[in-house]
Amino acid sequence: MFFTSGLFWFIEGILACVVIVGLKVWAEDRSVSMPWWKIGLIVLWWAWAGFTAAFIGTSIGEGEPHAALMGGIVFTVPAIVAAVLLWRFLGPGKSGKRPEPRS
Amino acid sequence: MVEKNRKHLTRRGFLKASGAAGAALGSAGLFFHGIQSGRNPASYTGWKTREGGDQTFNRKRFAVDSPTYEKAGEGQRVDARSGVVFSRLPGLMRYWRENRGMEGLPEYLQLYYKEHPEDFDLDLYNYRELFPKMRSDAVRYGDAFLLAEAWSHAMSAVQVEPISEPPEIADFPGRRRGFMGGDPQKPLKMKTPQKTSRLIKKIAHELGSTLVGVTRLNPDWVYSHPMRGRGLDPDEYLEVPKHWEYAIVVGTPMSWDPMYANPNYGTSEDAYSISRIVAFRLCAFIKRLGYAARPHYPGTSYDLMVPPIMVDAGIGEQARNSVVITPELGMNFRAAVVTTNLPMMPDKPIDFGVQSFCETCKVCAEQCPSGAITMGGKEVIRGYRRWHLHAAKCYNFWNSNLGNMGCRLCVAVCPYTRKSNWVHRAALHVTANDPTGLSHHALTRMQKVFYPGPDPQDYFMPSLGGKNASYRPPPWWLRTEDFIEL
């Protein structure tokens, strides 16, 4: 059961670090400022999205397809709306103008 | 071409691409983690029983001085001959067959039916109409449950020797206590009640009990007139023996997947079997220490009511349907009790929010096909305020559906009766720690939207207008049609 093992969570931790570094580079390249509260909002959204994925998976795994479907609707729709709002609100999607990337 | 590729593989570009890939992989990983969590055998609470690894809830945080039922008057003991439906109905059938009419019934039954006239009609309906209907439906539609019935039968194949002597004889150890040290005529001197409690709990886990708790026995829970087959005369008033000072509650869950496929594919016999063997072995252990011990065990070999003793021992709280909800197993628990004079430190009752949750939830009452579970508030019953379960209605449904004996539907639909994965553990901790009760409303709503069951009418057998429905489909190993040519 790899996905419930300690090794899985170790790899998840590494992936989280990679995501954070990638996000930092991406923000720098687009001159998007990243104060702590923006990072907080992104982490919250990330946690919500992770919860949604894990909830749907768990419901399928325990033989509750209806719960997976309802979870997919109830949790995914706000996650998508929040993602769009975050994109618009946090910088890059605000003006629609992309600054030149740093080399 | 090489130049172009190099442009795409700048360090920053690589880090960004890695970040995006990491996000995608991390999300996919959580999804697959979810799937394996849902299927994980470790979520079937009960598998780590012997090491005590299934009694995981931090009960000390939720310990209270008084149990969560409320004393509202003088406690009255139950007369098992009439107050327990398993005793009453055979009694009624025995006398009714002799065509003696109401006047021919023994005095205790006449008294009971005078006080509960609805139960007389229900009991008679069960005996006269439901039994024959169930038999004819079983011939026509019973094939689907052959494997389930065989499995239940196998689980009940190992029985214990019934107790044939009264407590003053049966409960005490024999003259010999083995070959090891100590005066065989005297109980061994235990160091402290705390240490003894700890020891007994460890032994109970080792013997196979998933949950265990200790309490002082409240005499109100002992039947005033006992059941048959307990070495006592049911027609004589039972004085509570002095050596029934403490009660140890032990018990195990029913197999999880069939339990969700109730009211027909599941069985209580698996948990009954383990619980009664644990109780007998625990008695043997205590007697070896030189103390008195008496097992009260399922199916119907009790001198007392088990649910309030479970509450007193901090195993859980009594719910709307009168069954006890435990934090680890929900209602999926079949208990036995050992009464003893071995001095122990009693556990405290717990309050982890069940009373408030049940007030809101009502899923069991809505799903119950028999209407036995009240949708209303608590009532004073024999001096204690709690929700009323109409046992005669409940028992009638046992003969209104095919498959294994019993129903257990309220056990299966209860939001607390969930396997131990992160979703349900999180929900448990939210409800247990929420003093406002807001989460109870939210989670109840989620339960009804996310985990709906069939129409209650569908649970009945075909001759009563139903479809023999089960709350969830049976596990693969109980699907008769997949293994047997019918």
Contacts of A53 in chain B (CB under 8 A): 27-28, 30-31, 34
The pLDDT, as a whole number, for residue B305 is 96
In a domain? residue B218: yes
A contact residues 46-75, partner B, Cβ 8 Å cutoff:
46, 49-50, 53-64, 66-67, 70-71, 74
- How far apart, in whole angstroms, are the C-alpha atoms of residue B69 and residue B299? 25
Between B185 and B282, where is the model more confident? B282
CB contact under 8 A, B26 and A12: yes
In a domain? residue B4: no
Contact B30, A47 (CB under 8 A): no
Average pLDDT over residues B55-62: 93
Between B257 and B3, where is the model more confident? B257
Query: Tokens for B387?
Result: 């929700």
Percent over 90 (pLDDT), chain B? 78
Q: What is the largest CA-CA distance in chain B?
A: 106
Quote the crossing angle between the two packed helices B11-39 and A6-29, to the nearest 10°.
150
Among residues B303, B278, B277, B334, the alpha carbon closest in space to that of B171 is found at B303
Any chain B CB within 8 A of the CB of A10? no
In a domain? residue B242: yes
Q: How confident is the model over B111-165, as pLDDT tens digits?
A: 999 999 999 999 999 988 999 999 999 999 999 999 999 999 999 999 898 888 8
Distance from CA of B8 to the nearest CA of A (A): 11
The pLDDT, as a whole number, for residue B178 is 64
Strand ranges in B138-279 using DSSP code E only, listed in sequence order: 211-216, 246-252
The pLDDT, as a whole number, for residue B338 is 98
- How far apart, in whole angstroms, are the C-alpha atoms of residue B355 and residue B10? 62
Distance from CA of B221 to the nearest CA of A (A): 38
Query: Tokens for B81?
Result: 């001959």
CB contact under 8 A, A60 and B422: no
Q: CA-nearest residue of chain B to A47? A: B27
Does the pLDDT value for residue B109 go beyond 70? yes
Chain centroid to CA B423: 22
Residue owning tokens 């059938």: B93
In a domain? residue B247: yes
- How far apart, in whole angstroms, are the C-alpha atoms of residue B97 and residue B5? 94
The pLDDT, as a whole number, for residue B262 is 97
Question: pTM of the predicted model, to two decimals?
Answer: 0.90
Any chain A CB within 8 A of the CB of B345? no
Contact B402, B130 (CB under 8 A): no
Any chain B CB within 8 A of the CB of A80? no
Indicate the residue of A26, A55, A103 with minimum beta-carbon distance to B423. Answer: A55
Helix (H) or strand (E) holding B143: none
What length does chain B have?
Answer: 486
Total structural domains within chain B: 1
Any chain B CB within 8 A of the CB of A7? no
Does the pLDDT value for residue B1 go beyond 50? no
Interface contacts (A, B; CB < 8 Å): 130
B415 burial (CB, 10 Å; 0-12 / 13-18 / 19+) is buried
Query: Tokens for A24?
Result: 């930092």
CB neighbours of residue B296 within 10 Å: 25
B contact residues 431-450, partner A, Cβ 8 Å cutoff:
449-450
CB contact under 8 A, A54 and B33: yes
Q: What is the ipTM of this complex?
A: 0.84
What length does chain A have?
Answer: 103
Any chain B CB within 8 A of the CB of A27? no
CB contact under 8 A, A49 and B36: no
For residue A14, what are the contacts with CB-CB under 8 A and spacing of at least 6?
A: none
Lowest mean pLDDT among A89-93, A95-99, B35-39, B416-420: A95-99
Does the pLDDT value for residue B4 go beyond 90? no
The pLDDT, as a whole number, for residue B419 is 92
Contacts of A12 in chain B (CB under 8 A): 26, 29-30
The pLDDT, as a whole number, for residue A87 is 87
In a domain? residue B264: yes
Any chain A CB within 8 A of the CB of B27? yes
Phi and psi (nearest 5°) for B479? -90, 95
Contacts of B422 in chain A (CB under 8 A): 54, 58
- How far apart, in whole angstroms, are the C-alpha atoms of residue B315 and residue B252? 12
Domain region containing B365: 56-482
DSSP secondary structure string, B295-309? EEBTTTB-SB-SHHH
The pLDDT, as a whole number, for residue B184 is 63
- How far apart, in whole angstroms, are the C-alpha atoms of residue B339 and residue B241? 10
Q: CA-nearest residue of chain B to A14? A: B22
- How far apart, in whole angstroms, are the C-alpha atoms of residue B266 and residue B84? 23
DSSP H stretches of helix in B239-295: 256-260, 269-288
Any chain A CB within 8 A of the CB of B477? no
Q: How confident is the model over A33-78, as pLDDT tens digits?
A: 888 888 899 999 999 999 999 999 999 999 999 999 999 999 999 9
Percent over 70 (pLDDT), chain A? 87
CB contact under 8 A, A58 and B449: no
Does the pLDDT value for residue A92 go beyond 70? no
- How far apart, in whole angstroms, are the C-alpha atoms of residue B136 and residue B463? 9
Among residues B380, B299, B365, the alpha carbon closest in space to that of B85 is found at B299
Contact B457, B469 (CB under 8 A): no
- How far apart, in whole angstroms, are the C-alpha atoms of residue B469 and residue B452? 13
CB contact under 8 A, B35 and A3: yes
The pLDDT, as a whole number, for residue B185 is 65
Average pLDDT over residues B420-441: 94
Average pLDDT over residues B187-191: 94
Indicate the residue of B16, B30, B449 with minimum beta-carbon distance to A53. Answer: B30
Indicate the residue of A50, A60, A71 with minimum beta-carbon distance to B27. Answer: A50
Q: Is B180 helix (H, G, I), strand (E, B) or coil?
A: coil
Per domain, the residue ranges of chain A are: 2-90
Contacts of A74 in chain B (CB under 8 A): 449
The pLDDT, as a whole number, for residue A32 is 85
Query: Tokens for B444?
Result: 């109840």
DSSP H stretches of helix in B289-437: 307-312, 354-361, 363-367, 391-398, 409-413, 422-432
Q: CA-nearest residue of chain B to A59? A: B38
Q: Provide the residue type at B185 as one letter.
A: Q
Q: How confident is the model over B256-271, as pLDDT tens digits?
A: 999 999 999 999 999 9
- How far apart, in whole angstroms, are the C-alpha atoms of residue A49 and residue A57? 12
Contact B302, B217 (CB under 8 A): no
Does the pLDDT value for residue B194 go beyond 80? yes
The pLDDT, as a whole number, for residue A96 is 47
Average pLDDT over residues B42-49: 82
Identify any residues that bridge with B324 across adjacent strands, giving them in sequence order: B318
- How far apart, in whole angstroms, are the C-alpha atoms of residue B360 and residue B441? 6
B193 burial (CB, 10 Å; 0-12 / 13-18 / 19+) is middle
Does the pLDDT value for residue B177 go beyond 70? no
Query: Tokens for B262?
Result: 């109730």
Percent over 70 (pLDDT), chain B? 96
Distance from CA of B40 to the nearest CA of A (A): 8
* Confidence at B229, pLDDT banded by 50, 70, 90: confident
Among residues A53, A48, A76, A77, the alpha carbon closest in space to that of B36 is found at A53
